[in-house]
Amino acid sequence: MAIRNLRLEGDEILKKKSREVEVIDEKIQILIDDMIETMHKYNGVGLAGVQVGVLKRVIVIDLYDDKGPIVMINPVIQKTKGEQEVEEGCLSFPNQFAKVVRPEEVIAEYTDREGKRMRVKAKELLAQAISHEVDHLNGEVFMDKIIPGTLEYIEPEEK
């Protein structure tokens, strides 16, 4: 496993649409492991392949509960319900936070890392994370959706 370099604000790749994963091979498994490790290193809740420079429809999410990381390959949001105004940040936009409107609930289908088709009904933070990461796969970033006047830059703490 390895920490991958994050693609940051201004990197053109973040605006590109990711491609479907055709085969879940060893390269994809290594990518998934590296993405989980990278997300944890930077204390992220989610990470999309494009954020580490790989235009594949792969996302990882960890709510840091007892369930461990969720791996979603080729995720598709089938249905959304309600709206929630949430504070959001992104590993590709370090130390920047803003309010965005996300669905309160989403139903998503995806393939897990073993190749099984799965369906999840997600609420609140998980719904927010899935929406945020699927946006990345479509070449959209949360900065495209912020509520005007809510962007804040938080100075990083000295280490």
**How confident is the prediction along the chain (159 residues), in pLDDT tens digits per residue?**
899 999 999 999 999 999 999 999 999 999 999 999 999 999 999 999 999 999 999 999 999 999 999 999 999 999 999 999 999 999 999 999 999 999 999 999 999 999 999 999 999 999 999 999 999 999 999 999 999 999 999 987 766
Q: Tell me, yes or no, if 133 is annotated catalytic.
A: yes
Within the chain, where are the H helices? 26-41, 124-137
- pTM for this entry: 0.95
Provide the domain count of the chain: 1
Looking at residue 159, what is its pLDDT? Answer: 60
Within 16-123, where are the H helices? 26-41
* DSSP conformation class of 113: T
Looking at residue 149, what is its pLDDT? Answer: 96
Q: Could you tell me if residue 6 is inside a domain?
A: no
* DSSP conformation class of 45: S
- What are the structure tokens assigned to 158, written together? 């000295």
- What are the structure tokens assigned to 20, written together? 């479907």
Q: Could you tell me if residue 58 is inside a domain?
A: yes
Q: Could you tell me if residue 7 is inside a domain?
A: no
Q: Could you tell me if residue 59 is inside a domain?
A: yes
Active-site option among 85, 114, 124, 133: 133
Q: What is the side-by-side strand order in the sheet with 152-153?
A: 84-90, 93-102, 152-153
Looking at residue 45, what is its pLDDT? Answer: 97
Q: Which residue reads 């006047």 in tokens?
A: 149
Q: Could you tell me if residue 2 is inside a domain?
A: no
Q: Could you tell me if residue 5 is inside a domain?
A: no
- The CATH number linked to 99 is 3.90.45.10
- What are the structure tokens assigned to 45, written together? 């809740």
| Domain containing residue 143 | 12-153
Q: Could you tell me if residue 158 is inside a domain?
A: no
Q: Could you tell me if residue 31 is inside a domain?
A: yes
